[in-house]
Structure 1
Amino acid sequence: MDKKVSTATIVRTICLALALINQLLSAGGHSVIPIDNETVNQLVTTIITVVVALVNWWENNSFTPEAIRADELLDQMQGKSSK
């Protein structure tokens, strides 16, 4: 059985990694987003990090084959079509 991680899971994980890297760079004094006002820069990067973290926390991110099969079984039990 060849199960693959969904595209949405990969995209959410990449967005979270980018937001966290951006936040760390910003906290270290490296302006990643070219905005003159440091307060605005901090606000924007914090908002991005919070939004991406909440979306990733809320979503079911299945990476292992067992978790992907469990998602498919749940979809079948709920009458949803397979991804």
Structure 2
Amino acid sequence: MLNIKGVNKQTWGRMIALFLMLLNQLGLSFFDFKLLPFTDDDIYQGVSVLISIIVTVWASWKNNSFTLEAQHADQHLKGGKQDGKNIS
């Protein structure tokens, strides 16, 4: 027996998205109807922009120590963390 009340919001979101994508595929295949009015070029450009944003945020979020002083500071910080010291 299904327990619909116990299903969380994320599960509902995934199922709704799956249903919409299947409906879009059926519309494209049988009825030449597009639920999502995007061309292949639009999708390619959107995915490229999304990947660019993700990589930019990821690269900016990480600690990028290029100078010798920054690299020494990183080593000092790692040594302090391993010793259990609280570095302020």
State TM-score, norm by structure 2.
0.47
Tell which has more relative contact order, 1 or 2 (C-alpha 8 A, sep 6+): 1
TM-score in terms of structure 1 length: 0.50
